[in-house]
Amino acid sequence: MNKIPITRPYTGKEEAEAVSSVLSGGWLVQGRRVREFECGIAEHEGVKYGCAVTSCTAALQLAMLAEGMGEGMDVLVPSFTFVATANAVVATGATPVLMDVDERTFNIDVDYTEKYIRENYEQKGSELVGRGSGNRLWGIVPVHQFGLCADMPAINRLAQSYGLRVIEDAACALGAGIGNTSIGGFGHTACVSFHPRKSITTGEGGMILTNDREVYQRALELRNHGSAVASDERHSNRGYLLPEFVRAGYNFRMTDLQAAIGWEQLKKLDFILRRRREIAEYYDRLFEGKSKVIRTPYVPGGYGHAFQSYVCFLDFKEDTAAGGRRRNAVMERLDGAGVATRQGTHAVHKLDYYQKRFGYRNEDLPSADRCDSLTVSLPVFVEITKAEQEKVRDELLKAVEG
């Protein structure tokens, strides 16, 4: 039986030829191709600077360090997100404080967040300080989950009124926006991913998008061991000497091989985004009026969803744990019927490390808990056929209602 996969990257001979041309050119590490790719993505999203790195996880960590996050600081992060969002905060030495989410959008619940700030922090001079921890509240990392922007106008209001910084985790959201504003254009630095499950891929890869020249400059240095000079610049000008290193950095550089793939992918991005939206609309139509349990993705008016994933919420009436077992049985049955699915994502506050280190319990953030247990992501990729989508619908309905 041919299984319908959860995703299939949309690559072809253009990407293969681009890699081959880099190989025959002899410069494989970060160089001209990376710069071209950075400019192309930044232009597509309407921001000034792009800094390509090895993954979105690396992008988040660098952006956070470049913006000054570190020890003794609290950072508000939605719990229903891939663990990389919170891990990046931990890697800077700061403390991720997990927030509940909105079950309709799967994004950070801004009302919950505001209430949490009021109840848990107090103003001391120009800073908000945790009543229990003594940590300074540094900022918020909203996640544009599955390609739908978080409520950025409300987050900006909150950030402004409490003097907080914001870094957008836009791993899934290349091409997403609200009105005419794209990710990275809400006044903050944003980080995107080029993992194969995302709209376009470089194998692994990520990028920091920002309009802030200083943040950009610091990110460039941090990704290259703390050097102010890129390797190809150095080798084309007195390369026999090592450059100055102005801070302690990392090797988070993307290769020209990856960037050459990314450049070809970028040419296909608008088509891929259109196709993803078309696929999502067809699923919407297929499920319309068919089930009281299956809730298809909600898109608020004016939001441009990038549909990195098409995630349904299975609104079982049992308690969360029992509902979760039913959801797992549904995914098992679909797997047997030749349809690959995945849980939407997980709730970080339910993960072992976060429970042991920070003392979270599953019931602390009930909506994130429910999203973790009751979501199911359906196959979305450019080449999926209508017949395959119809099979996904039929099998999901059988598994849920049967």
Ligand X SMILES: Cc1ncc(COP(=O)(O)O)c(C=O)c1O
Q: Which of 143, 209, 269, 368 binds ligand X (CB under 6 A)?
A: 143
Helical pair 56-66 and 213-223, crossing angle rounded to 10 deg: 120
The three-state secondary structure class of 89 is: helix
CB of 238 to ligand X, least distance (A): 35
Kindly state whether residue 210 participates in binding ligand X, applying the rule CB under 6 A: no
- Give the C-alpha separation, 168 to 8, whole Å: 26
CB of 188 to ligand X, least distance (A): 15
The contacts of residue 287 (CB under 8 Å, 6+ apart) are: 294, 296, 312, 393
Tokens encoding 168 = 């957008």
When the beta carbons of 87 and 355 are compared against ligand X, the nearer one is 87
Classify strands 206-210 and 189-193 as parallel, antiparallel or unpaired. Answer: antiparallel
Q: Which of 139, 185, 206, 249 binds ligand X (CB under 6 A)?
A: 206
CB of 311 to ligand X, least distance (A): 12
Q: Which of 30, 81, 227, 320 binds ligand X (CB under 6 A)?
A: 81
Q: What does each C-alpha distance from 282 to 97, 136, 285, 286 come to in angstroms? A: 38, 47, 5, 6
Measured in residues, the chain has a length of: 402
Nearest to 169 by CA among 153, 195, 193, 186: 193
Sign of the CA dihedral running 62, 65, 69, 72: positive
Task: Mark the segment that binds ligand X (CB under 6 A) among 42-50, 82-90, 356-364, 393-401.
Answer: 82-90
CB of 51 to ligand X, least distance (A): 14
Kindly state whether residue 107 participates in binding ligand X, applying the rule CB under 6 A: no
Q: Which of 34, 41, 171, 339 binds ligand X (CB under 6 A)?
A: 171
- Give the C-alpha separation, 236 to 234, whole Å: 5
Q: Which of 77, 172, 222, 312 binds ligand X (CB under 6 A)?
A: 172
When the beta carbons of 193 and 227 are compared against ligand X, the nearer one is 193
Task: Mark the segment that binds ligand X (CB under 6 A) among 51-59, 260-268, 293-301, 361-369.
Answer: 51-59
When the beta carbons of 143 and 183 are compared against ligand X, the nearer one is 143
Q: Under the rule (CB under 6 A), what is the footprint of ligand X?
A: 55-57, 81-82, 84-85, 143, 169, 171-172, 193, 195, 206
